[in-house]
Amino acid sequence: MGNVLTGPHVLRGVAVTTVRAALCGRDEVRLTFLREEALPVGSVTTGPTTGLPVRRYQAGDGAVVLDLVNADRITGQPVTTPEMLAEALAGRSPTDAGWWAELDAPVTDVIHDAAGRVLGVVSHAVRSSDDTGFILWLHGSENPVVVGALIEHAIAALGRQRTILAFEFASALSLGLEGLPAGHRPATRKALETAGFSGRNLWRYMHAGLPLAGLPLAAHYEVRDCEEPPGKRLEVREGGELLAEATIGRPVAGIGVLWWISVAPAARGRGLGLGLLGSSLDLLQGLGAREAILFVDDDAPADDPERSRAAANRMYDRAGLMQVDRLFSFSRRP
C-alpha cells in the first residue's frame, strides 16, 4: 500500500499533520494535535491519528472483520464464527453476561483505507448507571498505526471526560478471555498505554492438550449441572459439608474450560484440588474436549495470603498445563 495521506488535515475539531502514513510499510507517522472535541457516541468521523476514514460497521463487513479477529486468535481459542460475531455486535456474551446486560447498546466502527478496504474494527459502549465508557474489543492486525487510530477514535466517540475501561470482560468473540493477551497483542497494549491507559495484569491463561497423563482422580464427587457459566460443577462433600468444588464449561469446538477449583481452608493439604483437576479434565474429555484452558486470577498482592494463588499455580505447573499469556485490563481516567 502506498502513501495514504500527506499534509495537514482538519477533521471535526482535530487538526492533524500526517507524513507518509503507509500502513503496510509502517512508515513514519508524524502528528500535531491542535484541539479536540469530545464526540457523541455513534458519531462517524475520520481517524484522528491517520486521517483514515472511520464509519459504522455494515453487514457486508462481516467476512473481513472475522479475518481480523481470527488473525489475533491464540492457543486454546476456537475460530470465531459468524454466529459469535453476531452475538458480540448485539452486545451479548455467554461469559460475563451480567456485565454486558448493564451496557447501553454497543457501537462498532471500522477504519478503512482510501479504496474502502477495512483495516481494523473497534466496538465500544457506555454504562449509563455510572457513565463509564468501555472499549469492548478491537482488532487491527497488530499494526501500530491502525490500532492507535482505533483507540483514539473510541476515546473521542466515548468522550475524553469519561472514565474508560478497555478489555474489562470477555466478549462472545472468544472463549472466556477476560482481558487482552498482552504478550500476543503488544501493539495494542502499547497503543493503549500511549493513549493514557494504565494496565492491570490480572489473569494467567493456561492450556493443555487432552488427555493429560499422570493426574489422580478424586476418590468421590458429585456432578451437577451449572447454568452460570453453562457447564458442570463437581463437588466433594463429607457429611454434607462442601470441602472442594470445580466448575467446567461445555466444550466449544473441542475446547473445554476449567473455570475454577476451590478447596475449603480446613480441607487443604489432602490432595483434593489435584484430584478435582484430574477428574475435571477427565470429564471434559468425556464431553468431547480435545484440549482444555483455564484462567488463574493471581493478581493478589504479596501481603494478601487469603487471595494468593501460589499453591494453585504450582499445582497447574506440576500437572503439565502451560502458560499461554497474561491477560490485562486497562483503565483511563479523565
| Cα atoms in the 13 Å half-sphere on the side-chain side of 320 | 13
Percentage above 90 pLDDT, the chain: 79
Tens digit of each residue's pLDDT (9 = 90 or more) over 109-136: 999 999 999 999 999 999 999 999 999 9
E-strand ranges in 210-321 read 222-226, 231-238, 241-249, 255-263, 291-296
Tens digit of each residue's pLDDT (9 = 90 or more) over 225-238: 998 888 999 999 99
Q: Which residue has the cell 500500500?
A: 1
Name the residue among 156, 173, 128, 175 with its Cα closest to residue 43. 156
Residue 300 predicted with pLDDT over 90: no
Q: What is the mean pLDDT of the chain?
A: 87
- How far is 113 from 118, CA to CA, in rounded Å? 7
Residue 39 predicted with pLDDT over 80: no
- How far is 181 from 73, CA to CA, in rounded Å? 10
Residue 275 predicted with pLDDT over 50: yes
- How far is 288 from 303, CA to CA, in rounded Å? 41
- How far is 187 from 193, CA to CA, in rounded Å? 10
pLDDT recorded at residue 45: 54
